[in-house]
Structures are given as C-alpha cells and as structure tokens.
Structure 1
Amino acid sequence: MRVLLRVLSPLLGVALAAAGALVVFAVARHWAGRPWPTWPDWSWVDRPVLVVGACLAVGGLVLLVVAARSGVSQVPLDDPADGDRVVTTPASLARVVGHRVRAEDGVADASVTASRRRVRVRATSRLHDEATLRPRLLEVARAALADLPMPARPKVSVVVLSPKDRP
C-alpha cells in the first residue's frame, strides 16, 4: 500500500503544479489583452461535464481509501489490563526473531520479514545443509514468538541457503 502512495503522491503533486501553471498562464494571457478562448456552451447537466465530475469523484474516493489503509501496520500483543492496548510493529517482531536466529550455531546471516500473520526467515549457512539446520531454526523462531505475549501466533517459515545443498 505504501508503494501505491509513493507513486500517487508525486503524480498528484505534478497534477496540482500543472493546474497552477495553467491558472498563471490564463491570468498572464488576460493581462496581456488576449483572453483565454471561450469554452463551449456547456452547462452542469451536459454529459461531458457529468462524466468528468464522476471520474474525479471516483478518483478522489480511491485516493481516500488508499490513504486510509496505508497506516503503520501493527501486531497486537496481549493486553496487560482492561483499557490498556499493547501493540508492536512487524519490524520489531522481525528484529526479535532475527536476533535469536542469528545467534544459532552455523548461521552466517539471516533475513527476517514479519507481518501480523506470518514470519519468514531466510538464513544462510556455510556449515550445515538445509535438512539439518531448518528444523532447529524453525524451533528457535517459534520459541522466540512463544516468549512474546501474543493472542495469535503467526505462521513461521524458514528457508536455509547453503552451498552444501547445491549439486
């Protein structure tokens, strides 16, 4: 969702800048004594005006929905008391799991991504192959999540990249 906003924001900015430049151009033409050409005799109930208005309204609603859904994602934790709400971010969750996975013997590097529903671990090892290291890292990642007070545990997937697995 953030990628969509990062694309739409500059486009909207360019559109507003173009509209501003058009207004400046029209005012300059008017001051120079050459007024803007007259528009066709359209009223508010003519079809082209209604179509443009409907397109602008739908586009505005789409932008509003995209902006409303693009907030910072949160992972809920157990509430310590009534009226208190505790959350963490997916990045913090990934950091906790990543520290535990990187501390394991034989792990050269690990990349962890997390969301509310899933934690993905991508580890690199030079000493062990995937068949021996993957179950251990899966257990470590699940244990790291079990230590956190979470009402729902995310699914954990582990991939181990090792030169020993290549033919």
Structure 2
Amino acid sequence: MRLLLRVLAPLLGLLLAVVGLAVVVETVTLWVSPTSSPLIVPWPTWLAAAEGLTWQSGSVRAAAVVVGIVGLFVLILGLVARRHDVFLADPVPEVTVTTSPRSIARAVGHEVRAHDEVVSASVVASAKKVTVKAATLDPAEEVRATLRDLVETTLARLPLARRPRVAVSVTTTKGVK
C-alpha cells in the first residue's frame, strides 16, 4: 500500500501543478488581451456547456459520485498505508521510542531458529500479536511449550511499552533425525 501511495502522491501533485499552471497562463492571457481566444484551455466552450447544467443533471451527479469514490479510495488508502510502529518504553518523558514490527519479528525469529529442535520457522509480528510457525522433527507439543517460553523470554528482554500476545504453532516434519 505504501508503494502505491508513493507513486500516487507525486502523480496527483503533478496533476495539480499542471492545472494550476494552466489557470495562471489563462488568467495572464485574459488580462493581457481580453479579446483573444484562450491559449491552452477552451474555457469559453466549457462555460457555455456548463451554463445549461443544474444540480439535477445526470452528468453533474455522475461527476460528483466519481469524485466522491476517488476521494474515499484515496482516504482509505492513506489510512491503511500508515506506519504500524510498535512503541517501546520511553527512556524519559520527552522522548518517544518506536520500532517496526519487522524488527520484533526478526529478533524473535533469530531466537526461535537458533533453538536446536527447530528445523524452520516463520515469525509475523505486530504491536498486538506475535505469531510463530515452526517445524520440528521432535514431537510438536514438547517443542511448542519450549518455544512459547523462549518467545516470552525474548519479548521480556525487549523494552516494549505493551507486551503483545504470543501464538506459537509447531508442526512435526517427516525426516530422519
């Protein structure tokens, strides 16, 4: 989502700049020579077409709906693409410290993968929850309890302002020990 916003924001900015430049050019042209025809935008034709429109016209309502939908899309896109920072314990009241969920997942994943009984693991973290999916050659229930304690210990070492929930799932893989 953030990538889409990084592409969409400059394009919308460029579009607004071009429209603003066209308005400035047309205004200066009208001031300099009031009797001349428009330079870039055929605004007299547009003005004549718009004089017959009312709020009840289908084209006006359709344009309003399209603008509303595009605006709602951009608003939702902006809200969804915000940074999902995880707050850490503040060292002093004037300082706010944050980290990314990816950093927490990386720290937990490093500890989980370093465990002898784990063959592979994936970790997904957010401010509210850390989910660990691991594979082992040993019985899954024994390893699950150990990994849960390991994840809890790892999270306890981090200066998190709020402790996330932990979900650990372990599967036993087939293979020779």
- TM-score of the superposition, structure 1-length normalised? 0.70
- The one-letter amino acid paired with 1:43 is L
Structure 2, unaligned runs of 5 or more? 16-48
Provide the residue aligned with 2:160 in structure 1.
Answer: 150
2:92 maps to 1:112: no
Aligned-residue offset at 1:53: 2.9
Partners of 1:4 and 1:151 lie apart in 2 by 29
Find 1:94's aligned residue among 86, 102, 105. 105
Provide the residue aligned with 2:90 in structure 1.
Answer: 79
Provide the residue aligned with 1:49 in structure 2.
Answer: 59
- Which shifted more, 108-117 or 45-54? 45-54
Structure 1, unaligned runs of 5 or more? 17-38
- Show structure 1 runs of 4+ deviating over 3 A: 3-6, 39-42
CA contact (8 A) 2:148 2:166 kept: yes
- Which shifted more, 134-143 or 70-79? 70-79
| RMSD (Å), alpha carbons | 2.9
Counterpart secondary structure, 1:108: strand
Provide the residue aligned with 1:130 in structure 2.
Answer: 140
Partners of 2:148 and 2:121 lie apart in 1 by 13
- The one-letter amino acid paired with 2:156 is A
| Number of residue pairs matched by the alignment | 136
CA contact (8 A) 2:121 2:133 kept: yes
Find 1:139's aligned residue among 138, 144, 149. 149
Aligned-residue offset at 1:142: 0.9
Counterpart secondary structure, 2:74: helix
- The one-letter amino acid paired with 1:49 is S
CA contact (8 A) 2:85 2:100 kept: yes
Query: Over residues 29-85 of structure 1, what are the superposed CA-to-partner deviations in whole Å (9 max), with x where a residue is unaligned?
Result: xxxxxxxxxx79841423313322321332233133223211221111111112211
Counting aligned pairs with the same residue, the percent is 32
Partners of 1:57 and 1:40 lie apart in 2 by 17
Query: Which of 1 and 2 has greater Rg?
Result: 2
- TM-score of the superposition, structure 2-length normalised? 0.66
- The one-letter amino acid paired with 1:77 is L
Aligned-residue offset at 1:95: 0.2
CA contact (8 A) 1:5 1:66 kept: no
Query: Over residues 84-133 of structure 1, what are the superposed CA-to-partner deviations in whole Å (9 max), with x where a residue is unaligned?
Result: 1100001001000001111111111110001111111011112x121110
User: Within 5 Å, which residues of 2 pair with 1:5-24?
Assistant: 5=4
Counterpart secondary structure, 1:72: coil
